[in-house]
Structure 1
């Protein structure tokens, strides 16, 4: 960039020196014009041409002198213009001032830069303890009412005819094979005022023995198939009846078990008691009333 500027300055200096040293010699120019006009050809031409052409030659010579002067002036003007050019270039290359942002831009909140490195996932909560697979100690899990083992199936339910003072728990069994041994046990939790009020089964009464007693806070009904008797394939019901304190009763802690034999197979089912729909249409989930 410095070498190029030096070349330009040297060229401008030479042009300026040449323009300043040029001085047109007006007397020589006029003498040459007069000599041309005084020649023989010029005399013959003046003799045969009207006087007006002589004045035209003088005007042409004057125009030529003016042209020489104009060329000299143009050279001087060019030198001056080239001398002022660096200043104009300096102005053109000056930095452009930063424009003032609009009110909308100044009122807009700054956007933070995007961080390519992800931080901890928002779904991950370090302070939250890991979920436990065990239920809370304050919640008692209710076993399923219906269970199945091979050809034997069972279900426990509270009879819909139960009321505020009395209840009946039903155990339904289904077997696809003949049973050579069968024991059905109903355990009614002592929730207050629970006492035996009777029992029945849909199989012949003489085929079973029945015992009722209290054990570890439960009223226990036990039906046992007598030796040598059999239970044919089909669906059968065993029911225990009992009184209890006035009001709705929760059967959530009542349980039943069924053990049986089908040929050489030993079978076992059991569970809790499902909700009851009373005759008045009320729904008591897992309880009597």
Structure 2
């Protein structure tokens, strides 16, 4: 083959533009054809090459689309975080995140603050029509050398003591529960030569009461603490915590 012929063949090949639409139409027609009926005996009739080519093209298209979707979903944005496609918001997506303060009931949250000491009183959400738990949280940003927490529950609605607890070690406190001046009084007193570390600490008093809602409007608490040779105190009432 001379050089002139080769050059013309290369030019023709480079100028050729296949009719893609016509090719796809032929493939679709081939896939839509019903296979010829097989004889009662003998080898199976082979599938036409166009049908094989069409099936292969369809599979390749699905795989290519899947690969594109995976690549797009894992692409990182300029800030270094991974970009993820967001789905429709679920009803739970509006719920408070971890660490968000719960919505208080009657009167709103009433934290008391005095120097390094902060406190809050709340009614445990597991309280019911016959039993309740009132809780005091005491937060300090410095170690305490002394601490006395007193929780008072008005003796209305058939109140009677059922127990108490605190998040700090039991061996560090003297605990008492008694009725005085129309109140059930729970008291926790830090023993000598003991200390309370920085952080948030809980003190809880439990009690039964008559069936139904109980009026806790007269219930209150106080906390007296020693911090670095100085005395400080906080106090307040209880809100319903949900």
TM-score (norm 1): 0.46
Structure 1 pair 221–143 and aligned structure 2 pair: CA distance change class (3 A): farther
Q: 2:121 aligns with which of 156, 159, 167?
A: 156
CA distance in 2, matches of 1:261, 1:143: 29
Q: How many Å apart are 1:265 and its aligned residue?
A: 1.5
Q: How many Å apart are 1:250 and its aligned residue?
A: 1.7
In the alignment, what sits opposite 2:228? 263
Gaps of 5+ in 1: 1-141, 278-289
Q: 1:180 aligns with which of 129, 145, 163?
A: 145
Instruction: Count matched residues.
Output: 136
Which SS does the other structure have where 1:249 is aligned? Answer: coil
The 8 Å contact of residues 145 and 270 in structure 1, kept in 2 or not, is answered as no
Q: 2:207 aligns with which of 226, 229, 242?
A: 242
In the alignment, what sits opposite 1:221? 186
Structure with greater Cα Rg: 1
- 2:157 aligned with 1:192: yes
CA distance in 2, matches of 1:229, 1:261: 12
CA distance in 2, matches of 1:243, 1:234: 30
Structure 1 pair 149–244 and aligned structure 2 pair: CA distance change class (3 A): same
Q: 1:253 aligns with which of 218, 225, 234?
A: 218
CA distance in 1, matches of 2:171, 2:234: 24
Which SS does the other structure have where 2:217 is aligned? Answer: coil
In the alignment, what sits opposite 2:110? 145
CA distance in 2, matches of 1:217, 1:223: 19
Which SS does the other structure have where 1:213 is aligned? Answer: strand
CA distance in 2, matches of 1:152, 1:231: 12
* RMSD across aligned positions (CA): 1.4
The 8 Å contact of residues 158 and 169 in structure 1, kept in 2 or not, is answered as yes
Q: How many Å apart are 1:145 and its aligned residue?
A: 2.9
- Identify which of structures 1 and 2 has the higher relative contact order when contacts are C-alpha pairs closer than 8 Å and 6+ apart: 2
Q: Mapping of 1:101-116 within 5 angstroms?
A: none
1:234-278 Cα distance to aligned partner (Å, 9 max, x none): 11000000000000112111000000001121110000011233x
Gaps of 5+ in 2: 1-106
More helix by share: 1
CA distance in 1, matches of 2:167, 2:157: 29
The 8 Å contact of residues 144 and 271 in structure 1, kept in 2 or not, is answered as no
Structure 1 pair 228–143 and aligned structure 2 pair: CA distance change class (3 A): farther
Which SS does the other structure have where 1:253 is aligned? Answer: coil
The 8 Å contact of residues 172 and 194 in structure 2, kept in 1 or not, is answered as yes
